[in-house]
Structure 1
């Protein structure tokens, strides 16, 4: 009696048969296609995440630069009479700072908008952060604010 005869007597089939078990070529191709779609989606999601992190980092650094420019104006007691633009290197990058002066409520006060834009390849980009501050002229008394004269019709604005 051979080994195959023993399986036939017990009612079992032999382990070696004509059909080998495993994955077909079509099953492997479908699995690879699914894996490729998932990999592309994950790559795009990580790229979008890194891009948004870079934008937030640039905006945060620009805010620090704007705050430093405002602090410099206060510390130096600078009274701006006209708009100004300057280029500085701070936070490891080059920045363009634009200070726009507008009239205040009294001659002793002026509102200043400080806009900060990154300089990329020698060109200033769009402003990514701006802050507003009020400057006071140390040589002029602020006095009291009379808002009734601001309305030509009189009364409350």
Structure 2
């Protein structure tokens, strides 16, 4: 009488490894998407705060801002940002249209071109 030993066959082990590999790949893709989504939302939030702060600075000035365009670099959070402010004329002489564009430097290197993240427009009136 021969006794047969119990256990998994080679095919069963290969199928189990295939299923595990598919699940691991799917989990890695989901976690990668989660991380990039988190970074995108974080950048959008910080850029929106920077743009709102710049517009509020202009609203708190004693005089109506002149028509101009300027950029400044600033460190905020863990990144370096470029805040570009465009002040445009309107049909109403006592009002200005303000457009603030916030761009993020990718690798903390100010020589690289920053990537635009957020733009905010507002109107500022004479105090």
The one of 21, 25, 36 aligned to 2:21: 36
Q: Please state which structure has a larger fraction of its residues in strand.
A: 2
Counterpart of 1:93?
79
Per-residue Cα deviation, 1:7-48 (whole angstroms, up to 9, x for no partner): xxxxxxxxx952112211211111011101110111011101
Q: Does 1:52 align with 2:33?
A: no
The one of 98, 102, 121 aligned to 1:116: 102
SS in 2 for 1:97: strand
Over alpha carbons, which structure has the higher Rg?
A: 1
Q: 1:119 to 1:77 in 2, by over 3 A?
A: farther
Counterpart of 2:121?
132
Runs of 4+ in structure 1 deviating by more than 4 angstroms, as ranges, are: none
How large is the Cα RMSD of the aligned pairs? 1.7
Q: Is the 8 A contact 1:95 1:124 kept in 2?
A: no
| TM score, norm. by length of structure 1 | 0.71
Structure 2 residue runs of 5 or longer lacking an equivalent are: none
Q: Is the 8 A contact 1:96 1:124 kept in 2?
A: no
**Structure with greater contact order relative to length (CA < 8 Å, sep ≥ 6):** 2
- Distance in 2, Cα, partners of 1:110 & 1:67: 16
| TM score, norm. by length of structure 2 | 0.87
Counterpart of 2:10?
25
Structure 1 residue runs of 5 or longer lacking an equivalent are: 1-15, 139-157
- Residues paired across the two proteins, number: 123
Q: 1:17 to 1:77 in 2, by over 3 A?
A: farther
